[in-house]
Structure 1
Amino acid sequence: MKIFKYILAFTAVATLTVSCGNDDDVTGNPATTDFSGTFIQQDQMGRPGINTVFTPTAADENMFNVTIPANGIAMFQPTFQSRIEAYYAAYSVTAGTTLTYENNILGLDLPTLTTALALDVLQVAPDAPTSYFNPATGVPLTGRTIEDDVIDVSLILLFGGMNGDRFTSPTNLVSDNVSQEAGTSTNTFPYLTAAQF
């Protein structure tokens, strides 16, 4: 598993939690927030779009959202792999040829890729640049910056093959064709580019 030699150290999980009661009201002068109470996980989205695309039903999607990431592999990896195989089978009919998954640009085979997707966390590499994936530098999945085009990267990892461009014609399956915002985002909230000011 080539990817894991790059991704050691820390793991960050993007989760959204909500309080089960209304005890988080802002009160007092100066205003303070009371975060006491019971909190539960409602969503996870380390990698946007993965849950939406690979869970077959709304119930599965909701279950993925509340599953502790460490349990995601056992619960969802087989489903994710079968869904990708089904996408290839469907595209084969359209293309009139038999198409199967080819190891991706990171060298990951289908079981390894779907294992990484089912564990919906962002890894941090303290000695490498933060990048969802940058083909120019080859830095893989070491976090996510605001400029990263995570949907295109996901499509490249799924359909791009060993060179990242396997399915570009006649139908481009390695891009959603939504261009990046021009310019570089600021380092402070709300992280707008010069074109957005």
Structure 2
Amino acid sequence: MKLKRYTYTIALGALLSLGVACDSDDNDSMMMEDDMTGMEDDGMMEEVDFSGTFMQVDYMGRPGINTVLSGTGEIKNMHNTAIPSEMAATFQPGFESQLEAYHDGYAVALGLTPEDVDYEPNILGDILNGPDADGYTDNPVSATVLTSVLAADVLEVAPNLPTTYFNPGAGAPAYEGAVGLTGRTLSDDVIDVSLILLFGGGNGARFAGQDGLPLLVSDGVGFSANISTEFPYLGAPE
């Protein structure tokens, strides 16, 4: 296969280059060069062709966000090829509009007026500053703030906190000790976390299937992958 030959060529070239760089003996270096020339003549080495047009087609920092909030396929494709530093300013207004449209749609489906089912500030405020006595955030994260964060498809790093997309701490409704958006591990359920941030409200359980409300804070799919402690970290499929 052509790809395999390229792999062998690159690996062999790297080893030979290392040998030349580490040896000060000119005679040995000349012998290596002669050997490589002979290998090229024998067709054992090929030049890799990198010509053509290359294009980025996707980001995977926060899976699902672009799909849910872009609104159209055209916007989704634009987001996938955008520069991260420009994402928030470019896509936040549309993301916020789409988020509010989802809530309006659920209001109509429930026989309520859209004003009664607006987006409710979510638990990110609790994660940052701790909840109030009533279990709701004292640092409300508005739809504008949330969609500004989510529009930039990058993962934050918090050196002094555990790496996690979201650790619920004590869990709903207060989420005491919760940590969020400090990175991402293989076992993080990023879809459920995203749904909680979008539809969970101040205590993370606003639309949790209770009292006839729809279940919007989980996709109902559990985590079943085998995690290994060695690269590439994902074990054999079951």
Tell me the distance in 2 between the aligned counterparts of 1:35 and 1:74: 38
- Identity level (%): 51
Q: SS in structure 2 opposite 1:43? A: coil
Bigger Cα displacement from structure 2, 52-61 vs 88-97: 52-61
1:73 Cα deviation (Å)? 0.9
Instruction: Quote the residue 2:120 is aligned against.
Output: 102
CA RMSD of aligned residues (A): 2.6
Query: Hey, which of these two has a bigger chunk of strand by percent?
Result: 1
Bigger Rg, which one: 2
Tell me the distance in 2 between the aligned counterparts of 1:191 and 1:178: 21
Tell me the distance in 1 between the aligned counterparts of 2:198 and 2:13: 48
Give the letter for the 2:106 counterpart.
Y
1:103 Cα deviation (Å)? 0.7
Deviations 1:12-54 (A, max 9, x none): xxxxxxxxxx9xx546272779696775433212100111111
Instruction: Quote the residue 2:12 is aligned against.
Output: 30
Give the letter for the 2:218 counterpart.
S
Tell me the distance in 2 between the aligned counterparts of 1:51 and 1:35: 33
Deviations 1:150-190 (A, max 9, x none): 000000000001111000123110000001227x7212234
Structure 1: gaps spanning 5 or more residues: 1-21
Give the letter for the 1:135 counterpart.
P
Deviations 1:98-145 (A, max 9, x none): 201111011221100000011110001111100101111411100100
8 A Cα contact 1:26 1:34, kept in partner: no
Runs of 4+ in 1 over 4 A off after TM superposition: 31-40
With over 3 angstroms needed to count, the CA separation of the structure-2 counterparts of 1:109 and 1:185, relative to structure 1, is same
Instruction: Quote the residue 1:188 is aligned against.
Output: 230
Deviations 1:63-96 (A, max 9, x none): 1011001111111000000000000000001112
Aligned pair partner of 1:80 in 95, 111, 131: 95
Tell me the distance in 2 between the aligned counterparts of 1:80 and 1:94: 21
Instruction: Quote the residue 1:49 is aligned against.
Output: 64
- Higher RCO structure, 1 or 2 (CA under 8 Å, sep 6+): 1
With over 3 angstroms needed to count, the CA separation of the structure-2 counterparts of 1:31 and 1:153, relative to structure 1, is farther
Instruction: Quote the residue 2:217 is aligned against.
Output: 174
Tell me the distance in 2 between the aligned counterparts of 1:196 and 1:43: 25
Tell me the distance in 1 between the aligned counterparts of 2:88 and 2:198: 18
Q: Tell me, yes or no, if structure 1 residue 152 matches structure 2 residue 167.
A: no
For these two proteins, the number of residue pairs brought into alignment is 172
With over 3 angstroms needed to count, the CA separation of the structure-2 counterparts of 1:175 and 1:27, relative to structure 1, is same
Query: Hey, which of these two has a bigger chunk of helix by percent?
Result: 2
Using structure 2 for the length normalisation, give the TM-score: 0.65
Tell me the distance in 2 between the aligned counterparts of 1:119 and 1:178: 26
Tell me the distance in 1 between the aligned counterparts of 2:95 and 2:68: 9
Tell me the distance in 2 between the aligned counterparts of 1:72 and 1:78: 11
